[in-house]
Amino acid sequence: MPSSPALSAKALDRLCSQLREKAAQLGFDDLAITRPGAIPQAPQRLAQFLADGHHGTMGWMEETADRRGSPSVLWPQVRSVIMLAMNYGPAGDALENLAHPDRGNISVYARHRDYHDVTKGKLKELASFLVSRAGGGDVKVFVDTAPVMEKPLAQAAGLGWQGKHTNLVSRRLGSWFFLASIFTTLDLSAAEPERDHCGSCRACLSACPTGAFPQPYRLDARRCISYLTIEHAGPIPAEFREPMGNRIYGCDDCLAACPWNKFAVEAREAKLKARADLEAPSLDALLKLDDPAFRQLFSGSPVKRIGRDRFIRNCLIAAGNSGDTSHLSQIVTLLGDDAVIVRGAAVWALSRLLAPEAFMVLAQERLAFEADAEVRGEWLACLQRQASQN
């Protein structure tokens, strides 16, 4: 391992301001430094989150819990943690598209290039700059790529505080920003943590369409639309389908509700400005995507990660919520899709758009061919729901 030079207080100050300047030049919107031991409460809180099952099927959180809870377990040599923020603020009202049921709503963080790709190169450049200016030391860069608890670390470094919605809020940037980190063996000057400025405000908690906050500062991911549309592999549990509205990838309601966003500004990084075709894409066109067309449309976007089948599942829920019967013929086509989650979601969408008699006739016809138990179960549950509503 390269040796870590001991720097005088004056040299350290100079190094930190050079680092800040370089970070700003590279497009980062804030930088702050903390110590690896600055989040002593994190392991216990993470353990509680996992014990409560709030991570749902994100088994990787459990598998990496020891390293995630403590930077020093992840990398014993680490002496300082540099936390960075990159603003992805939207140009206009983040929630405007929710009022257009003929459109799919992709959350703001995914309307442009994947932030992992955008930040990784810049982080590496900043880390090399640090080592060259310090005259030594070792570094590791992370942007949600290793088990690091980025939010509590960022709060400890003073970048902002974890709001009641659990995300980081900054007095200067609001809450539309990504986090990334550089771990280093260098002893840099650490800052004071930011304190909580939420006060008695509960706007984010009240805004959540699915009641995903059992308490302020605690999220049950299993109820969060972001988790359901991105991380969750099976059918969307029935109780969340209507509240999803036209949210087909992620959710921004709790972030958008935060009054601190009055200080937010539009992203300055060109690659984090919304792609025009992803701001309010036509649901009709999305429902027709096959695998190659899906990959092409979402090339370079975080949406690509969930794959075409999960994405079409989400679009079918939005179609079922749209009240728009012009989708019917495409949804009927999707009843013959190879993917079980697509067929199941198509059944639900039809149960919402067709009159009960027409749905019953279609069910009788299709159940004769449907071999999958899960999809058959969806038909029967929808028939039962319709019968109980009449």
Q: Which of 29, 138, 150, 253 binds ligand SF4 (CB under 6 A)?
A: 253
Q: Which of 153, 225, 349, 354 binds ligand SF4 (CB under 6 A)?
A: 225
Q: What are phi and psi of 360, to 5 degrees?
A: -60, -45
Asked about 30 being catalytic, the answer comes back as no
Nearest approach, Cβ of 254 to ligand SF4 (angstroms)?
A: 3
Nearest approach, Cβ of 176 to ligand SF4 (angstroms)?
A: 13
Tokens of 6: 């001991």
Tokens of 315: 């679009």
The whole-angstrom separation of Cα 41 and Cα 62 is: 17
Nearest approach, Cβ of 222 to ligand B12 (angstroms)?
A: 9
Decide which of ligand SF4, ligand B12, none touches 207; Cβ closer than 5 to 8 Å per partner kind: ligand SF4
Q: What is the largest CA-CA distance in the chain?
A: 81
**Does the protein bind ligand SF4 through residue 317 (CB under 6 A)?**
no
**Does the protein bind ligand SF4 through residue 289 (CB under 6 A)?**
no
**Does the protein bind ligand SF4 through residue 318 (CB under 6 A)?**
no
Decide which of ligand SF4, ligand B12, none touches 210; Cβ closer than 5 to 8 Å per partner kind: ligand SF4
Nearest approach, Cβ of 72 to ligand B12 (angstroms)?
A: 16
Give 168's DSSP letter: E
Give 246's DSSP letter: T
* CA angle in degrees (0–180, nearest 5) for 194-195-200: 145
The DSSP annotation for 21-87 comes to HHHHHHT-SEEEEE-GGG-TTHHHHHHHHHHTTTTTT-HHHHHTHHHHH-HHHH-TT--EEEEEEEE
Q: What are phi and psi of 269, to 5 degrees?
A: -70, 120
Decide which of ligand SF4, ligand B12, none touches 15; Cβ closer than 5 to 8 Å per partner kind: none
Catalytic residue among 52, 66, 138, 144: 144
Residue 140: in which H helix or E strand, if any? strand 139-142
**Does the protein bind ligand SF4 through residue 251 (CB under 6 A)?**
yes
**Does the protein bind ligand SF4 through residue 207 (CB under 6 A)?**
yes
Q: Nearer to ligand SF4 by C-beta: 15 or 208?
A: 208
Rg (CA), the chain: 23
Q: How far is CA 55 from the centre of its chain?
A: 13
Residues that bind ligand B12 (CB under 6 A): 42, 45-46, 49, 107, 109, 143-144, 148-152, 162, 165-168, 175, 177-179, 217-219, 221, 224, 226-227, 230-231, 250-252, 254-255
Half-sphere exposure of 119 (CA within 13 A, CB side): 25
Decide which of ligand SF4, ligand B12, none touches 94; Cβ closer than 5 to 8 Å per partner kind: none
- Quick one: which segment of 55-63, 149-157, 182-190, 220-228 binds ligand SF4 (CB under 6 A)? 220-228
**Does the protein bind ligand SF4 through residue 168 (CB under 6 A)?**
no
User: 105-106 and 247-249: which strand pairing?
Assistant: parallel
Matching residue, tokens 């063996």: 185
**Does the protein bind ligand SF4 through residue 210 (CB under 6 A)?**
yes
Instruction: Using CB under 6 A, list all residues that contact ligand SF4.
Output: 165, 207-210, 212, 219, 224-226, 251, 253-254
Active site residues: 144
